[in-house]
Structure 1
Amino acid sequence: MNSIFYYVEASVFCMILLSIFFYKTVTSIYLEQRQIFFAHAVFYLILYITVDIFWALHYKGVLLLPFLFCFLLNLLQWFLASVCGYFWFIFMESMRGARYVEKSRNRKLIFLPVWIASLALLSSYFFHFPMKVGRDGCIDNMAYYSYMMLLPFFYVTTTGLRSLRQYLREEQKSQERQLLLPALYPVIIIFAGFLQALLLDIPLLCYAYVLVILIYYVTMQDAHISQDMLTQLNNRNSLKRVLRNRFREPGIHQGFYFFMIDIDYFKSINDNYGHLEGDRALKLLADTLRTVSRRLPRRGCFLARYGGDEFILLCDCADDKAAFRIVQQIQQEAASRSRNAGAPYTIEVSVGYVRRDHTIRSAAELIRKADEKLYQYKHVKQTANRA
């Protein structure tokens, strides 16, 4: 009897923690679509734990439930676990920058397995297939837990593997942690789920879910500090930290190139098409820089939004000719991407770059020289256009 009260107390404690995460998320000033997905995952996890408490009380004989009610409780518990896994998948895919989850039609297709599996489980009440229903209305424990965890684990594992693949080729240092952690989550959840099936008196799966939510909540808060919310690139704080580290280790990071990029006539885009279109132009340029940087050696490559329409690229280049080829790639990719996106303008960019050598002794001097090169380039470009 003591074990069931411990189970309930531990579950209620987890619900309180999750409720705090849910409240802090939905009231955040940074609330975006992906945070809404995260909040949904937390909300359905709270409901799942609530139903799990009633099931545990019935299983231990503390709360006697009618046959049909017990079966529906099992069905609801499975459904909530699957919905939670679904929203976690959508959330993690949006964190990876996957655009397909933004469309309602795609999200409905991803949710389709939940409906199909729910109908299959419901049929067990009439046909005792695919699950065998006992005389008390409860489904056989081992078979039920295997079936209940199958779909949520599929969602979590799929997005974990996709995150791992992106981590292995990701150029964004600030995003590496956000990609590596989800790749490890399936290991935690699957291990806890296996133990939960063996040790029913301890809410191990509940602990595992709360641990994962806690880790990622902290990671999201860290992202607000080091990441630009509009473009999902590193922000100026991250840039300062990276430059500070590189100037502390001159022997290791000697000779890298510092590119400063901005959009030509960006004010005209805002004035003529509105600030929402201006935001889209910034996102398109951010995507351009991601694409170009993936073609470069991953080691030492770093992207950031410096402020306004100015972006930074740090990378290793063999010489000035190689650096100029990168400039050409950025310009060509930006123009092509804006045309393919159907934008009512073509994104043109100016780039100033400088090689960090022994004559440049500080990050401020490096930025100043790149800024001078940028405006020299813009002046030459404007003069040529007028001519």
Structure 2
Amino acid sequence: MLCAVMIIILMFMVHRGVMHEADQKTFFNLCFHTQLLFSLDVFWELLDGSAFPGARVLNYIVNAAYFAQCGILCYYWSQYSLFLSGSCRFSGTFYKVLFALPMAVEVVLSIASVWTGWYFTIDSANHYHRGDWLFIQVTVMFIYLVYSLLVAVFTIKRQRDVVNRNKLYAISALGFLPFFSQVLQAQFPGVSVFCTGATLGLLIVFLEIQREMISLDPLTRLNNRNQASIYLSSRFKQDIPGKRLYQFIIDLDKFKGINDTYGHMEGDNALVIVSTVLKLVCGPRGHFISRYGGDEFVVFANLPNNAAADELCRMLEKKLSDYSKALPYTLAMSIGYAALRDGEKEEELMSRADASLYEIKKRKHAER
């Protein structure tokens, strides 16, 4: 009942619009199916062993609905994990049908168990007993839950971007906690721990989504200025042998002209393109990326020397040039950077990087 109340609170908060629209719909749907399973579990607890007229029939119906809902919930659980991780798996019709096939089998066998006793039987005293084929139901749930877990784990290994890794850790909890609790429930019949694992998984994902909304820039989905300050403060306490902390300040050239000529919508599109370039170049290398404000971006990178910093600048400029070929205007950026010195304060590093950017922009202006 406590888990059911927590799920209702989550659904209420989502309904009030504390999440993005796409997240809101899918998360609310998952909460609804989780809540439905909890409700069936409560009804079973009330009906099992009851002796009022029609109680045995209701017990059959509730048990069949419960086992069918287990498959449906685990299907939606895996779907939501794919949604959060941005995976394009099972996008075609054939793969969608294939992915839904275990759920369909689970629903059919659950309903058929009313007559066959495959998953469960109800004795004359209206008590539930496990069927001989219950292992199929457990296997179907494990297939979906293990798949959700594996998607997150393997994606984490390939993902070096800190922000995305945090989300993937939450997705792994979304798969691991229900999986672990289902294993316990299968080993100890009558102990309803699956609802606890499912609720904790949903709560962790919900909190991660809220954290992401607070810490990310809504347009570019990059870290915001506050997160940049937090990262810099934490990085000052670390020492990476053979590398120094570099701060890059990136400013989009002639951004005001894009807004004035093509409108603010196109200006926003230009900022999104820059953020995409930063993610493609810096993300795989584990560099910290932030939109600092307006058309200004900040990157923190652990590099061995200035030559590596210059190479990073060239890669960013080339990638942005490639992306701007299809645009009616040319996108270009100015990049200034500074390496952290021993005993230097955060403000001093920022000031030197900003001065470097100013010199770059001054030189470009003189060349024109």
TM-score tier after normalising by the smaller chain length:
0.7 to 0.9
TM-score by length of 2: 0.81
Counterpart secondary structure, 2:236: helix
- Amino acid aligned to 1:366: L
Question: Residue 341 of structure 2: which of 338, 341, 357 is its match?
Answer: 357
Tell whether the 8 Å contact from 1:44 to 1:81 is kept in structure 2 after alignment.
Answer: no
Alpha-carbon displacement from aligned partner over 1:285-339 (angstroms, at most 9, x marks no partner): 333222212553x4xx322222223222211223222211111211222343456
SS at match of 1:113: helix
Verify: 1:311 aligned to 2:297, yes or no: yes
1:124 corresponds, among 91, 105, 112, to: 112
What secondary structure is seen at the aligned counterpart in 1 of 2:180? helix
2:159 maps to 1:170: yes
Shift of 1:240: 0.9
Secondary structure, in 3 states, of the residue corresponding to 1:230? coil
3-state SS of 1:61 partner = coil
Aligned residues: 366
Q: Which of 307, 313, 328 is the equivalent residue of 1:327?
A: 313
Q: Following the alignment from structure 1 to structure 2, what is the Cα–Cα distance between the partners of residues 327 and 218?
A: 36
Q: Could you tell me how far 1:249 is from its partner in structure 2?
A: 4.9
Change (3 A) 1:61 1:139: closer
Quickly say closer, same or farther: Cα 1:124–1:274, change in 2 above 3 A: farther
1:376 aligns with one of 351, 359, 363: 359
Could you tell me which of 123, 147, 150 is aligned with 2:136?
Answer: 147
Residue 147 of structure 1: how far off its partner (Å): 3.4
Contact 2:121/2:131, CA 8 A, preserved across alignment:
no
Write out per-residue CA displacement over residues 162-195 of structure 1, whole angstroms, 9 at most, x where no aligned residue.
2222323433334433322433444432232122
1:25–1:31 contact (8 Å) kept in structure 2: no
Percent sequence identity is 25
Deviations 1:93-121 (A, max 9, x none): 333344x3898979965863366325643
Contact 2:338 2:353 in 1 (8 A): yes
Secondary structure (helix, strand or coil) at the match of 2:334 reads strand
Structure 2 unpaired stretches of 5+ = none
Q: In 2, are the aligned partners of 1:132 and 1:139 still within 8 Å (CA)?
A: no
Deviation of 1:277 after TM superposition, in Å, equals: 4.4
Q: 2:2 is matched with which residue?
A: 13
- How much does 1:79 deviate? 4.0
> Could you tell me how far 1:139 is from its partner in structure 2?
9.1
Q: CA RMSD in A?
A: 3.8
Any residues of structure 2 matched to 1:12-91 within 5 Å, and which?
Answer: 12-61=1-50, 65=54, 70=59, 72-91=61-80
1:218 and 1:288, CA in 2 relative to 1: closer, same or farther beyond 3 A? same
Point out the more displaced range, 287-296 or 45-54. Answer: 287-296
Structure 1: give runs of 5+ residues left out of the alignment. Answer: 1-11
Aligned 8 A contact 2:74 2:144 in 1 = yes
More deviation in 173-182 or 256-265? 173-182
Give the Cα–Cα distance (whole angstroms) in 2 for the partners of residues 383 and 139 of structure 1: 84
Is the 8 Å Cα contact of residues 34 and 91 (structure 1) preserved in structure 2? Answer: no
Distance 1:274 1:145 in 2: 62
Secondary structure in 2 matching 1:303:
strand
Post-superposition offset of 1:20? 0.6
Q: 1:295 to 1:219 in 2, by over 3 A?
A: closer
What is the alpha-carbon distance in structure 2 between the residues aligned to residue 345 and residue 103 of structure 1?
Answer: 34
Trace 1:95-114 onto structure 2 (pairs within 5 A): 95-98=84-87, 100=88, 112-113=100-101
Counterpart of 2:346, as a letter, is A
Q: How does 1:196-345 map to 2 (within 5 A)?
A: 196-249=185-238, 255-296=244-285, 298=286, 301-337=287-323
Normalised to the residue count of structure 1, the TM-score between the two structures is 0.78
Distance 1:266 1:362 in 2: 31
How far is the alpha carbon of 1:208 from its aligned partner? Answer: 1.2
